[in-house]
């Protein structure tokens, strides 16, 4: 969850060239990759967050938890339900229910398809699963483009070398560069490109 086994000095040294290229990146030795407690919830949130604001995605996630999850009693007024397990999205009317909550059909279908794959065992979203196998399986599902797959590789599978070249903030940090040029440049930052992306996200202009 907290990337406690990383070696900051090694990563900082390897990304020295990156910090020269992107002076606005958040350069603080010891920066960790954000993990997650539940891989399925993380994947659903990634789908919900496609092309909408973080605030809007959080609103949808809260509605989904209230509709499909179980009530939880906590000292926090805005934390009232657990996030539902994959099985809760495999009912025949799941897509319709998601639509009623404001999730567009394409994303609702992607969530249900993912849930069915997880429930059947076709896909594992456990942090210790094989990154290459599961990334390929995710990429084969509708609604899982390169950004989503790379993002989940970073957040769920703790992959240190994800490079989200199509991410808005990443493209903004390298104006005028094509995806092919970005990928070529990023080769020098392997195998720590996830840390480069997080540094950009934490920068002052993102």
- Judge whether 119 and 43 are in contact, CB under 8 Å: no
Has 167 been annotated as catalytic? Answer: yes
Nearest to 48 by CA among 89, 17, 87: 89
CA–CA gap between residue 183 and residue 201 (Å, rounded): 18
3-class DSSP state for residue 35?
coil
Give the burial class of 55: count Cβ atoms within 10 A of its Cβ; 0-12 exposed, 13-18 middle, 19 or more buried. exposed
CA–CA gap between residue 193 and residue 178 (Å, rounded): 17
* CA 195 to each of CA 70, 125, 149, 175, 202: distance values in angstroms, whole numbers, following the listed order: 35, 21, 16, 20, 10
* CA 18 to each of CA 14, 28, 96, 168, 196: distance values in angstroms, whole numbers, following the listed order: 8, 13, 46, 18, 7
Q: Which residue has the tokens 């903004």?
A: 172
* Among 5, 96, 130, 167, the one annotated catalytic: 167
CA–CA gap between residue 167 and residue 40 (Å, rounded): 22
Residues known to be catalytic:
167
């Amino acid at each position: 969850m907290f990337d406690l086994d990383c070696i900051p000095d090694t990563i900082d040294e390897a990304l020295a060239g990156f910090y020269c290229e992107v002076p606005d990146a958040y350069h603080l030795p010891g920066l960790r990759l954000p993990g997650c407690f539940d891989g399925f919830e993380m994947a659903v949130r990634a789908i919900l967050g496609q092309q909408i604001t973080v605030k809007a995605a959080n609103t949808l996630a809260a509605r989904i938890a209230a509709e499909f999850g179980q009530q939880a009693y906590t000292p926090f007024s805005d934390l009232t339900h657990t996030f539902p397990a994959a099985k809760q999205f495999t009912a025949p009317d799941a897509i319709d229910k998601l639509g009623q909550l404001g999730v567009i059909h394409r994303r609702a279908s992607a969530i249900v398809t993912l849930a069915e794959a997880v429930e059947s065992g076709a896909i594992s979203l456990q942090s210790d699963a094989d990154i290459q196998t599961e990334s390929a399986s995710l990429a084969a599902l509708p609604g899982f483009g390169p950004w989503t797959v790379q993002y989940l590789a970073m957040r769920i599978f703790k992959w240190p070398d994800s490079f989200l070249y199509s991410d808005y903030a990443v493209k903004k940090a390298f104006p005028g560069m094509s995806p092919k040029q970005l990928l070529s440049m990023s080769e020098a930052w392997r195998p720590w490109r996830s840390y480069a992306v997080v540094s950009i996200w934490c920068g002052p202009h993102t």
